[in-house]
Amino acid sequence: MIRSRGFTLIESIVVIIVLGIAIVTITSFLTPQVASSADPQYQNRSVALGQSLMNQILARGFDEHSDFDGGIIRCGDAGAVDCSAPGELGVDGAEATPAAFNDVDDYIGCWYTDTTESSCISSVKYSLANILDENIEGSYANFRVEVSVFYDANMDGIDDNTIGTMKRVEIQIFGGNNRYSVIAYKGNY
């Protein structure tokens, strides 16, 4: 009797079906990983951008009416000029660039790149730039930053709608499909 070598038709079909199931299973596990593979890169760059911008903001004065020559008299103290009212927070006068900003609430608004301007929530918009007013769009393409500042004396995260001794600075960085928040408080000292 002649012994045959090779696979039978049924064995070949079973192998094809098993390989098909294996490929579908492996692909279904890899596809979600590929979609989120850029997340760590966006997280790192978002944190770096948020920290950089927060450092720039917190280096500014508490209010437009603060004493920038030594800080001996705080706005709102007896005999001093009142701090800006809640409705007056934002850019004051001719402060058109980050280099001219002198208090934390001057940064209120949306900081965008060419590809993200249409996503801005705030009506006040600026091109994403650093403190030297140099455009950094190339380094942060597809990023957008929303900055909000309001009085929050009791530090509960809710706008007090009255002049207080603390301002809450919140930066929301939108990078990729994610949103990252950085929050700090600036005191009137």
* 118 and 131 fall within a common domain: yes
* 22 and 57 fall within a common domain: no
Instruction: Compute the average pLDDT of residues 38-66.
Output: 88
Domain that holds residue 31: 8-37
**Pairwise CA distance, residues 134 & 139, whole Å:** 12
Residue 25, judged by CB atoms within 10 A of its CB (0-12, 13-18, 19+), counts as exposed
* The pLDDT value given to residue 132: 58
Least confident of 17-21, 37-41, 42-46, 67-71: 67-71
* 52 and 27 fall within a common domain: no
* 19 and 92 fall within a common domain: no
* 12 and 93 fall within a common domain: no
pLDDT digit string (tens) for 62-90?
Answer: 988 887 777 678 888 887 888 889 998 98
**Pairwise CA distance, residues 57 & 49, whole Å:** 12
* 113 and 50 fall within a common domain: yes
Buried b (16+ CB within 10 A) or exposed e, 157-178: eeebeebbbbbbbbbbbbbeee
Give the list of residues 6+ apart from residue 124 with CB closer than 8 angstroms, or none. Answer: 90, 91, 108, 109, 110
Q: What are phi and psi of 15, to 5 degrees?
A: -60, -45
Residue 42 identity: Y
* The pLDDT value given to residue 13: 94
Residue 95, judged by CB atoms within 10 A of its CB (0-12, 13-18, 19+), counts as middle
User: pLDDT higher for 136 or 156?
Assistant: 156
Instruction: State pTM to two decimals.
Output: 0.78
Contact by Cβ (8 Å): 60, 103: yes
* The pLDDT value given to residue 54: 92
**Pairwise CA distance, residues 125 & 5, whole Å:** 75
* The pLDDT value given to residue 160: 92
Is 3 a domain residue? no
* 51 and 129 fall within a common domain: yes
Q: What are phi and psi of 100, to 5 degrees?
A: -95, -10
Q: How many domains does the chain have?
A: 2
